Amino acid sequence: MVVVTGQNKVSANPDDAMSSSDAEDDFQEPATPTATQAGQALPLLPQQFPEVVPLNVGGMFFTTRLSTLRRYEDTMLAAMFSGRHYIPTDAEGRYFIDRDGTYFGDILNFLRSGDLPPRERVRSVYKEAQYYSIGPLLDNLEDIQPLKGEKVRQAFLGLMPYYKDHLERIIEIAKLRAMQRKARFAKLKVCVFKEEMPITPYECPHFNSLRFERSESETKLFEHHCEVDVSFGPWEAVADVYDLLHCIVTDLSARGITVDHQCIGVCDKHLINHYYCKRPIYEFKITWW
């Protein structure tokens, strides 16, 4: 039988008795939280920033005015240094932003005086401006080369809804063939045609009339798939086959893929009477290393 008096326990059996320290542990009051624990538990007070702000952006150091960082109120930088958010500091007291700082100087130069980066850095600075949500800088960069030309190019590529899918197919086929053959490169045939209906040198002067006078049943006689790996087209725009080829090579190269291409002839499939396909066929050579 155990008798409890206050917080002291007395046991009739010495073996079952608890030491006074054990008893105290059972009824121990919660410890007073440390400063670190309190800081974690309590919301942080608004952070105060000096007028001149030292920065550490991914290991690169910058110094700028607080007003520069807050120049455009809808940006991430303005929000970060508004005092509503806590920003850690490094060992030297510089405010740390966990981002590659290579192009942060271009960001600051725009915030300071509206300066734009040289052409060779436009694409990279554009990505940083997207990250920091600097709308005015994005608008300015989109109006200069090469981004302005890219907008025109994308408008052309928008005419071909499966363009990106076809690019992926080129890459996948080339990869599988190279792996199967244990080869450094792979070749595949790509058809790029602008006009939907077949054209021969004899049809060209009458192409438009022939195109619209054919009935639906007659049109089906001309429908076929060229014996190629990937086929692009048709489309209606001033841009021609060579323009699309340039887009294909550019986008593959942007992904680090080495590609060469050459025209190896036309489909030349006989359809009906004197009509032949005549769609150009290109051989693409993808080199993997």
Question: Domain total for the chain?
Answer: 2
The SS3 of residue 235 is coil
Q: Is the pLDDT of residue 35 over 50?
A: no
Q: Tell me, what DSSP letter sits at residue 174?
A: H
Whether residues 188 and 102 share a domain: the answer is no
What residues make up the domain containing 171? 156-197+223-285
Question: Distance between terminal CA atoms of the chain?
Answer: 84
What is the Cα–Cα distance from 75 to 97, expressed in whole angstroms?
A: 15
Cα angle 216-218-220, degrees, rounded to a multiple of 5:
75
The answer to whether residue 138 is domain-embedded is yes
Q: Which residues make Cβ contacts (< 8 Å) with residue 57, sequence separation at least 6?
A: 96, 97, 99, 100, 101, 104
The answer to whether residue 252 is domain-embedded is yes
E-assigned strand segments in 204-266: 230-232, 258-266
Q: The whole model's pTM is what? A: 0.65
Q: What is the pLDDT at residue 161? A: 82
CB atoms within 10 A of CB 132: 21
- The DSSP element (H or E) to which 188 belongs, if any, is strand 185-192
What is the Cα–Cα distance from 133 to 126, expressed in whole angstroms?
A: 10
More confident call, 44 vs 99: 99
Rounded to the nearest integer, the mean pLDDT of the chain is 82
Q: Is the pLDDT of residue 227 over 70?
A: yes
Q: What is the pLDDT at residue 201? A: 47
Q: Which residues make Cβ contacts (< 8 Å) with residue 283, sequence separation at least 6?
A: 187, 188, 189, 190, 261, 262, 263, 264
Q: Is the pLDDT of residue 2 over 50?
A: no
The answer to whether residue 269 is domain-embedded is yes
Long-range contacts of 49-54 (CB under 8 A, 24+ apart): 49/81, 49/83, 49/95, 53/81, 53/95, 54/92, 54/93, 54/94, 54/95
Contact by Cβ (8 Å): 133, 111: no
Q: What is the pLDDT at residue 39? A: 45
Give percent above pLDDT 90 in the chain: 62
Give the pLDDT band (50/70/90) at residue 37.
very low
Whether residues 174 and 236 share a domain: the answer is yes
Q: What is the pLDDT at residue 257? A: 95
The answer to whether residue 183 is domain-embedded is yes
User: Residue 142: is it exposed, middle or buried by C-beta count within 10 angstroms (0-12/13-18/19+)?
Assistant: middle
Q: What is the pLDDT at residue 279? A: 87
The answer to whether residue 207 is domain-embedded is no
Q: What is the pLDDT at residue 197? A: 55
Whether residues 113 and 177 share a domain: the answer is no
Angle 135-142/122-131 helices, nearest 10 degrees? 150
Whether residues 165 and 136 share a domain: the answer is no
Q: How big is the chain, counted in residues?
A: 289
Query: Average pLDDT of 65-73?
Result: 96
Whether residues 122 and 161 share a domain: the answer is no
Whether residues 250 and 129 share a domain: the answer is no
CATH of the domain at 116: 3.30.710.10
pLDDT tens across 113-168, in order? 999 999 999 999 999 999 999 999 999 999 999 999 999 999 999 998 899 999 99
Q: Which of 4-13, 51-60, 105-114, 140-149 has the lowest mean pLDDT?
A: 4-13
